[in-house]
Amino acid sequence: MKFRTKEIIDPNYPLLDVDRAANISVKRTTHVYGETDVHKLSSIKLDVYHFPIPSTDGRTHHILVFFYGGGFTKGSRLGQSPPHDLVHANLGAFFARRGILTVVPDYHFVPSITYPQGSEDVRDALLWVVRHLHTAGDASRVFVLAHSAGGVHAVSMLLLSSLFSCPFAPLSVGCASSASHLRSATAPPPHFSKLQWDTTAA
């Protein structure tokens, strides 16, 4: 069997565009979040992908928050140009169409910030979710999915007790760790004893 390597790695390969119409039809709203000094100097945003059909059985929907990677220096919740504008939109739409309220935040990059400000962005995004989406989704069932640098920021936030404060106590956190960056980094420290903790090694 001959693999078509060029088509697989070519960024212009039309895979991202296959379901463009269906994905962009999913309702997406954009919001400013964050209360730190860094946020006050530069507004930072997140996108919420809404499920198209409201629940008819009275149950609230789970919430998924995705933090993308980018080597700590780059990235965007929205791609710069087609087909890259669908990279995270595809993810948001995929889960939203399956009844999961999905949030994709931006966060600050180095060298404009220093540690642990990226993790503060993760905390502030999750605080925004808990405070603003409790009527649209189940704020006691928030799952965090993160890739590469986004995963490092998310795990650092969880490990820093000063950032992981009481508003997160009811959350159930699911971590999908990058095998190359975060292997064995998802074991909960002692102060997580009240959490329902599920880990999935990628």
C-alpha torsion sign, points 127, 129, 189, 175: negative
pLDDT at 165: 62
Using one digit for the tens of pLDDT, what is the confidence trace for 39-96? 556 679 999 999 877 666 666 788 999 999 988 999 889 876 666 677 788 899 999 9
pLDDT at 185: 41
pLDDT at 113: 87
44 close to 32: Cβ distance less than 8 angstroms: yes
Ordered strands of the 44-49 beta sheet: 28-33, 44-49, 101-105, 63-67, 142-146
Which helix (H) or strand (E) segment is 32 a member of?
Answer: strand 28-33
Using one digit for the tens of pLDDT, what is the confidence trace for 179-190? 334 443 444 444
- More confident: 109 or 177: 109
pLDDT at 15: 67
pLDDT tops 50 at residue 129: yes
Using one digit for the tens of pLDDT, what is the confidence trace for 14-29? 666 777 788 888 999 9
Using one digit for the tens of pLDDT, what is the confidence trace for 133-168? 988 888 778 888 998 899 899 988 888 877 766 555
Q: Model pTM? A: 0.74
Q: Cα torsion at 110, 112, 116, 118 (round to 10°)?
A: -70
- Is CATH 3.10.150.10 what the domain over 15-201 is classified as, yes or no? no
